[in-house]
Amino acid sequence: MATDTAYGLVRAFDDFNRKAIDTTNYYTSNTDSGGTAFAINEQRNGVVRGSVDTTDNDITNLFKDGPIYRPNAGGPVIMESRVTLITSVADGETYVGFSDDDGTDEVAITLSAADVQTSNATDAAGFAYTGAGTADWKRVGANNGSITNAARCNVKGATTPVAATWQTLKVVINEDGDADYYIDGIFQGTIASATRATISLNPAWALQGGGTARSVDVDYIYVQAGRI
């Protein structure tokens, strides 16, 4: 962290309490045919929503700021986002976390029904859930293309998404690339060397169709990183 200033931490917060998101300067948003790109949804206090239709494997995703947050730059880097799945939690992929990519039409990390992880991003750390798999969000990571074993987040009870029920997901990556995972303020575990500490990351949300139309709502996003 920078010591020559009283503002040694870089912070970004977005509550989505306005009419539109800026996809020119702050966000990159993609969607396949039939989906609906992330956009402000007029709910109390502001929400951004992205959707997929019934087409299998179609993707809708959102990236914030571009990959500018680097864990070893006076870290840790922190991402916290309050999210909920809308309409259905059935077959389909959801990812919330950090990714090294800010424009590719992809889900950073996906899971099979048996919790076998596939990484589309080279470096990433976050939460993944597939409605076709086992219960609970999984903590996942990718380090230079090498994937970690997905682990269930079920400390102090199940964390399986419930439609239209908010959950707060938080990832903290230290200067070594180790990631700590929290859901609703409860520590869910650590992945050592979840991602490379030298790679710049950005917040990413993604959903992938599995045959059921559904959406993901994001209430807010908070990011913190060291300034050096």
Per-residue pLDDT of 143-170, as tens digits, reads 999 988 899 999 999 999 999 999 999 9
Q: For the residues 95-123, what does the mean pLDDT come to?
A: 94
Task: Give domain limits for the chain.
Answer: 9-226
Where does residue 128 fall: left (phi above 0), alpha (psi -120 to 50 degrees), or beta otherwise?
beta
19 sits in which H/E element: none
pLDDT tops 90 at residue 172? yes
pLDDT at position 135: 95
> Residue 228 — pLDDT band, cuts 50, 70, 90?
confident
Instruction: Give the three-class secondary structure for 106.
Output: coil
Could you give the CA distance from residue 195 to residue 35 in angstroms, rounded to a whole number?
30
Query: What residues contact residue 78 under an 8 Å CB cut-off, 6+ apart?
Result: 170, 171, 172, 173, 222, 223, 224, 225
Per-residue pLDDT of 25-36, as tens digits, reads 999 999 999 999
pLDDT at position 1: 67
Provide the CATH topology of domain 9-226.
Answer: Jelly Rolls (2.60.120)
Q: Tell me the percentage of the chain whose pLDDT exceeds 70.
A: 100
Per-residue pLDDT of 49-58, as tens digits, reads 999 999 999 9
pLDDT at position 145: 93
Average pLDDT of the chain? 95
> Residue 44 — pLDDT band, cuts 50, 70, 90?
very high
Q: For the residues 10-18, what does the mean pLDDT come to?
A: 97
Listed residue (188, 221, 179) closest to 71, CA to CA: 179
Tokens, residue 51:
């959707």
The residue assigned the tokens 């869910």 is 188
pLDDT tops 80 at residue 192? yes
